[in-house]
Amino acid sequence: MTLLPTTPGPAHRSRSGAARARGLLVNLGLGLVMLVALAFLLPSLMGLQRYVIMGGSMDGTYDLGSVVFEEVVPVSELAVGDVITNVPPAESGIDTLVTHRIVSIDGADLRTQGDANPAVDPWTFQLTAATQPRVVAPAPYVGFAFMALADRGTRMALIGLPAALIALWSLVELARALRPRRTPDDGPAGVVPTRDPEMACA
């Protein structure tokens, strides 16, 4: 009777190593997708708003590319020294959000200034809403990732590529599972199996 080898051969070990490598890549891809999703969802789940610093007026405190996380508080709780994000009044000529520090409060009138700016902002404004976002924590340079994700091509590369790799790996595993398995009696490919000589009839 011919005995079959019980130790895996080189081809088997190679396939096992390739399977482990594919599994590692899939896990890394899943981890990346989960981290990106968590970065987007966690602040809102905690009731925070986030803003990307895209200018240099707060350099030294919140450098370009930082993300500031802000809690929404009643306007009555704001104090000199707080950093807020708001759209300046129309007469300022600025129609984008600005993150600056409050330097004076005179009744309902507020003045702000960027920490890196030599002068106070040349406008006075009032907050008409009952609440206002106020900075509670920064994340230096994380904003560059959000800037990159604003580009559709970058989003597809960072999110779509891992998803595509996971889908491809799933298809490969499905095809492998559906492929008929050879049994020891089948013998090597292209060779017709014969009965054990000890079992042959005279």
Q: Are 97 and 164 contained in the same domain?
A: no
Q: Are 111 and 172 contained in the same domain?
A: no
Task: Residue 107: give the domain boundaries.
Answer: 50-141
Tens of pLDDT, residue by residue, the chain (202 residues): 555 555 555 555 555 666 677 677 767 766 766 776 676 677 777 788 989 999 999 999 999 999 999 999 999 999 999 999 999 999 999 999 999 999 999 999 999 999 999 999 999 999 999 999 999 999 888 888 777 666 676 666 666 776 777 777 778 777 877 877 666 555 555 555 455 444 444 4
pLDDT value of position 6: 53
Q: How far is it, in rounded angstroms, from Cα 188 to Cα 21?
A: 28
Query: Which of 85, 115, 141 represents a domain boundary (last residue)?
Result: 141
pLDDT value of position 10: 55
Q: Are 57 and 128 contained in the same domain?
A: yes
Q: How far is CA 176 from CA 15, 179, 190, in A?
A: 12, 5, 21
Name residues whose C-beta falls within 8 Å of residue 88's C-beta, 6 or more positions apart in sequence: 94, 98, 121, 123, 125
pLDDT value of position 151: 66
How many domains, the chain?
Answer: 2
pLDDT value of position 173: 76
pLDDT value of position 201: 44
User: Is residue 70 assigned to a domain?
Assistant: yes
Q: How far is it, in rounded angstroms, from Cα 23 to Cα 29?
A: 10
